[in-house]
Amino acid sequence: MTASIHHITDQRPHLMVVASDGAHVIPHALVQSVIDGDKPSSILTEPVVRRIIEEWLQQVTA
């Protein structure tokens, strides 16, 4: 398995999502563009989307 590694220092702030397939560091701007509908949600992997939903659900039901 190979992974793309990108230097994201210039893309701060960013989020770290620990999903079932590993840790992902995602620029805040990318997540916001998905929320705004500028980019498709398919740009995020399924495990990442599941983890984001899981954490959101924990927050709203706490």
Q: Give the model confidence (pLDDT) of 29-50 as tens digits.
A: 999 999 999 999 999 999 999 9
Does residue 52 or residue 1 have the better pLDDT?
A: 52
Percent of residues, the chain, with pLDDT higher than 90:
69
> Average pLDDT over the chain, rounded to whole?
89
What are the extents of the domains in the chain?
A: 14-61
Structure confidence at residue 43 (pLDDT): 95
Read off the tokens for 10.
């210039």
Neighbours of 49 (CB within 10 A): 16
pTM (2 decimals)?
0.76
For the record, the structure tokens of 11 come out as 């893309």
> Residue 14: helix, strand or coil by DSSP?
strand
